[in-house]
């Protein structure tokens, strides 16, 4: 990405130097090259579709948390039973209870890991969907406003960007308008 920015800058400098060469006819001034950036994280956090995706994930996360809390309570109950009644049980019965507790603890740990992986997959899929939809909006905004290049702020290594080059809020508004018109 930096190579593209450097190449664009170099071509603008070369074009302006060529027009100032002595003995050469003055060329028409080169059009200004417009470069903008988008903060995709802000789009995901503030756009209606991004907020809806996060809310959907939070609902699923809450459901999973409720199930995991139930498993935890069951394990605590079983552990308390082993601690309180353990001395009264036969060695075989105590060992069976302990094995039952360990099996349920392992199952709960596996389930928690599986749920976490499932949530991560769903989050990636939802966010990917939003990003694909936003891609078309970014392209349209870029064409309408005659931008030569639009980059993603966080991953492009932008060290400085003027606030006038920030198209994020405009893309959010356009994306929300477009998403709203599709629902109707």
Contact 75, 105 (CB under 8 A): yes
**Where do we find the tokens 């995901």?**
44
pTM of the model: 0.58
**Per-residue tokens: 96:** 């069976």
Q: For residue 134, with 0-12 CB atoms within 10 Å meaning exposed, 13-18 middle and 19 or more buried, which class applies?
A: buried
- Cβ-based neighbours of 44, under 8 Å, separated by 6 or more: 50, 53, 54, 127, 130, 131
Q: Residue 90, by phi and psi: left (phi above 0), alpha (psi -120 to 50) or beta?
A: beta
Q: Residue 25, by phi and psi: left (phi above 0), alpha (psi -120 to 50) or beta?
A: beta
Q: What is the pLDDT of residue 160?
A: 64
Q: What is the pLDDT of residue 12?
A: 32
Question: Which tens digit of pLDDT belongs to each residue from 108-165?
Answer: 999 999 999 999 998 888 878 888 888 888 888 888 888 888 888 887 766 566 788 8
Residue-number span of the structural domain to which 129 is assigned: 2-27+35-183
Output b/e per residue, 21-60; b: 16+ Cβ within 10 A.
eeeeeeeeeeeeeebbbbbbebbbebbebbeebbeebeee
Q: What is the pLDDT of residue 10?
A: 31
Question: Which tens digit of pLDDT belongs to each residue from 6-18?
Answer: 333 333 323 333 3
Q: What is the pLDDT of residue 162?
A: 74
Tell me, what CATH number does 172's domain have? 3.30.910.20
**Where do we find the tokens 């071509």?**
11
The pLDDT confidence band at residue 55, using thresholds 50, 70 and 90, is very high
- Cβ-based neighbours of 96, under 8 Å, separated by 6 or more: none
**Per-residue tokens: 91:** 């060695």
Q: What is the pLDDT of residue 180?
A: 80
DSSP sequence for 151-179: EETTTTT-S---GGGB-HHHHHHHHHHHH
Number of domains in the chain: 1
């Amino acid at each position: 990405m930096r190579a593209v920015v450097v190449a664009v800058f170099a071509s603008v400098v070369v074009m302006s130097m060529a027009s100032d060469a002595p003995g050469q006819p003055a060329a028409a001034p080169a059009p200004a090259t417009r470069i903008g950036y988008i903060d995709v994280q802000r789009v995901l956090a503030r756009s209606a579709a991004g907020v809806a995706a996060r809310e959907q994930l939070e609902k699923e996360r809450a459901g999973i948390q409720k199930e995991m809390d139930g498993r935890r309570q069951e394990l605590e109950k079983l552990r308390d039973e082993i601690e309180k009644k353990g001395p009264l049980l036969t060695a075989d019965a105590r060992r069976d209870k302990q094995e039952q507790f360990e099996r349920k603890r392992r199952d709960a740990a596996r389930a928690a890991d599986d749920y976490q992986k499932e949530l991560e997959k769903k989050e990636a899929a939802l966010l990917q969907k939003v990003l694909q939809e936003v891609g078309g909006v970014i392209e349209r905004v870029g064409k309408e406003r005659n931008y030569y290049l639009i980059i993603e702020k966080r991953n492009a290594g932008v060290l400085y960007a003027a606030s006038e080059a920030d198209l994020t809020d405009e893309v959010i508004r356009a994306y929300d308008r477009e998403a709203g018109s599709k629902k109707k």
